[in-house]
A and B are shown apart, each in its own frame.
Chain A
Amino acid sequence: MPEKPNETVKIKSAKKMRDLMTAYYLEALSAGQNHKPVAWITSGGPVEPLVAMDIIPVYPENHGAMIGSAKMGEDLCAKAEDMGYSSDLCSYARADIACSVVKGGPIGGLPKPDMLICCNNICGTVLKWYEVQARFYNVPLFIFDTPICHGAYTPEIARYVRTQIDEYIAFLETVTQRKLDHDRMNEVGKLSLEGQRLWQKVLNTTAHKPSPMSAFDAFFFLALIVTLRGTRIAVDFYKELIEEMEQRIRDGVSSVPNERYRLLWDNLPVWHRLKWLSSKFSDHHACLVADTYTSAWCGTIKYIDENRFLDSMAEAYTRIYLNIGVDQMAEEVLNMIRFYDIDGFVMHSNRSCKPYSFGQMDIMRIVREKTGIPVLMIEADMTDPRSFSESQVETRIDAFMEIIKQRRG
């Protein structure tokens, strides 16, 4: 899992989080021995039915983040290129595809899937990536097709996605030869929603000045809402985390010593440079207090009805941050700038992630026009370090911070 950057007063919950994630991966890795089915699922995919059916969800993207943090991305991506994959493809996909073949990476590869669940609400890459894996492992693939909502969530999209929830459950029942217990499903739905609300609350604590945690912490604590969404574990953990954050606020403990500037981050983290980036900004007394990425896992709470979880899930999964128009994304960015009282916006132009990165320049223009805050765009890739230039990024961060300082006086 992603490494935790150093800071003045450590967040105590980090250890617990690490233990939970270790336990989760141990369980997943021993699923075969325990005769538990394993499903690989995309990070934005509807995991709740899996949890309700005791299928262990495994997230290649979370694994990709681990690979990136462990600085094993370059090697695995290069292996995929030897296999014929273009170096311009998403580095999560490249690393994962290679990892399946060579059993490499920080945990020696993910447990073999019994089925694959691909929800394309994040990108078209996952569609191709999961096709590759479905051929490689020769296991059934379910595609949960969530048409992009450039504008409205139309009735035909609603019907199509809703129908697929039934198809999805039928698929799971066929593969596992088990029935979904609807009471259990309701319970998981409630836990999922509660987890998302708590996660939102965790992220909201950073509206406080100084911020008790940073986006770098959020990148780390995110793993639970992704992998254990719909479980009591996630709910209990985030409750504790909120308590700790509130205590930090009461004690005046800040993430960045003498926080003076508050920044917003866009796009995936640069996993292989977390520590480095965190200290670069921290040196300028700047705290990345929020980001558009981790908030995606609680961004559609408004669509969820816990008493009709399966029905409302259709809309919630379809209208996530990446599956909407760039103008709507810009709106959300503006809201975050207001809510967190942001002084500057840092955009990670991520070679790997086209749906997240194309449109960024229009968002940049809108943010400049509407708020006047400085915007910095840095070129990187979340897992593959080969396109990253430390010296260049450093110079740009320094220049950007200079502008912010002048502006703020």
Chain B
Amino acid sequence: MKDIECFHDAVSHIPETASQIKKQGRKIMGYLCSYAPEELIHAAGFHPMRLFSSKSDIVLAENHLQSYCCSLVRGILEDSLNGRLDFLDGAVFPHTCDSMQRLSDIWRMNNRYAFFADVVLPAKLNTESAGIYMTEVLARFKKDLEAAIGKDIPDTEIKASISLFNRIRKNLSALYDLNSRHPGLISGRDLYALVKGSMIMDRKEAADRLANIVSHLEKMSPPVKPGKRLILSGSVCDTPDIFDAIETAGGVLVGDDLCTGQRWFEGPVMEDTPPLSAMAQRYRDRVTCPAKHSGLTTRAENLVSLVQKTRADGVVFLMLKFCDPHTFDYPYLKERLDGAGIKSMIFEMDDQQQSLAQFSTRIETFIHMI
């Protein structure tokens, strides 16, 4: 359907998407990582755009980052140095992993855009003082934005942005929910284009189109031949061929633990509390990324309960090579899944990965096994 096509268009032609937004007189703020306070960026009048790697060959970034840095970080730096992100008016770096932390420094020291900000979030989320600090960091970021635009950002604007982003979250949740009840209703490739597109295209357009898509899919009759129900877990999955390979092998995706998936959009920002504390609260409540701490077993509990809730048959861990936070968590997550009788497989890949032949073989074997 046309609405879905628009998302595919937006994600496969990012510079064009950007230039259309700029034509409307809006400045574009790139952001890294799912902990970026998009609502504030948006309320300041910028268009927030999550940065992904264009997966081009690493040439210029070789002079800044060694080969043992994750391909996402190297890829995004390459894009910037190469001028492929010259549509940006600035970039925002939430603090996450060590690689991102240093990317922020390198970016700032070789900056090509007008605006730059770090949002030095706490690493620990589950204490009161971390909550207070988180709110203060957001307040500082708000000030940075205000300095850039030369005027205050009124609470009403932030609230309006929050409710717009909540609308996107709500529709994406509804989509996932539909798809998990009737797997195959929408292909993995489409589903993830919707998620990624929602980080890239105009947010009002995204929210409206998502609502159309949900109501359209609600009316469709569920497919007859579902496959093995799978959950993806990892950081970023920006390789649509993975979804095709899973489906070809007889699997269907019924949920995920990805920061390009449910971790990013699950759970609204409260609309009846002061906006900054509400945003901080959501970061503390949402399903955590492993670069943050919120309890020793929280991630495993989330994953096991996601599997149970979606009645999944197995979990596929997709690890970007050199990604410390995720690879550190893998042994314990696997152990907890094993303990709960849930089958899993792990696949280590590069964001730059060209051939998925190996993945296809592995996923076929896995699907036969479960």
Q: CB within 8 Å of B: which residues of A?
A: 83-86, 88-90, 93, 120, 123-125, 127-129, 131-132, 134-135, 141, 143, 145, 147-148, 150-151, 154, 156-157, 159-160, 163-164, 167, 325-327, 349, 351, 354-355, 357-362, 365
Contact = CB atoms under 8 A, between A and B. Distances in A.
Contact of A156 (B137, B291, B296): B137
Interface string B58-96: 000001111011000000000000000000000000011
Interface in B284-333: 290-291, 293, 296-297, 319, 321-322, 324-325, 327-332
B34 to A, nearest CB: 16
Contacts of B334: 84
**Which one of B63, B139, B296 has the highest number of Cβ atoms from chain A below 10 Å of its Cβ?**
B296
B27 interface: no
Given A127-B123, A156-B133, A326 B296 contact: no
Nearest to B319: A86
B120 A150 contact: yes
B124 interface: yes
Given A88-B321, A351-B68, A326 B106 contact: yes
20 contacts: A84-B330, A85-B330, A85-B331, A88-B322, A88-B327, A135-B332, A143-B124, A145-B124, A150-B118, A156-B133, A156-B136, A163-B132, A326-B102, A351-B68, A354-B68, A354-B69, A354-B99, A354-B324, A361-B63, A362-B109
Given A132-B328, A355-B102, 15 more contacts: A84-B334, A85-B328, A88-B321, A120-B123, A124-B325, A125-B324, A129-B328, A148-B101, A150-B120, A159-B133, A164-B129, A326-B109, A354-B99, A354-B102, A362-B64
B290 A354 contact: no
B348 A86 contact: yes
10 tightest A-B CB contacts, nearest first:
A128-B328, A358-B102, A84-B331, A156-B136, A160-B133, A326-B105, A86-B327, A355-B98, A354-B98, A163-B129
A241 to B, nearest CB: 33
Nearest to A366: B109
Contacts of A163: 129, 132
A143 B291 CA distance: 13
A127 B293 contact: yes
Contacts of B156: none
Contacts of B325: 124, 128
B133 A361 contact: no
B335 to A, nearest CB: 8
Contacts of B321: 88
B296 A148 contact: no
A359 B68 CA distance: 13
Contact of A357 (B66, B132, B137, B328): B66
A350 to B, nearest CB: 9
Contacts of B137: 156
Given A86-B348, A124-B325, A150 B129 contact: no
A52 B291 CA distance: 32
A151 B95 CA distance: 13
Contact of A157 (B120, B127, B293, B332): B120
B4 interface: no
Contacts, number: 144
B97 interface: yes
A348 to B, nearest CB: 11
B123 A132 contact: no
A359 B65 CA distance: 7
Interface in B133-185: 133, 136-137, 139-140
Interface in B235-255: none
A88 B296 CA distance: 22
A96 to B, nearest CB: 13
Given A124-B324, A128-B324, A351-B68, A135 B297 contact: yes
A127 B105 CA distance: 21
Given A86-B319, A128-B325, A354-B69, A134 B296 contact: yes
A156 B103 contact: no
B77 to A, nearest CB: 10
Nearest to B129: A163
Interface in B19-64: 63-64
A148 B95 contact: yes
Contacts of B118: 150-151
A361 B140 contact: no
Given A127-B293, A354-B98, A361-B65, A89 B327 contact: yes
A253 B148 CA distance: 59
B132 A362 contact: no
B222 interface: no
B118 to A, nearest CB: 5
Contacts of A355: 98, 101-102
A338 to B, nearest CB: 21
A143 B121 CA distance: 15
A101 to B, nearest CB: 11
B260 interface: no
Contacts of A132: 328, 331-332
Nearest to B110: A362
B130 A160 contact: yes
B101 A147 contact: no
A24 B275 CA distance: 52
B293 A143 contact: yes
Contacts of A351: 66, 68
B63 to A, nearest CB: 6
B330 A150 contact: no
A215 to B, nearest CB: 22
Interface in B256-283: none
Contacts of A90: 324
A349 B122 CA distance: 28
A145 B109 contact: no
B112 interface: no
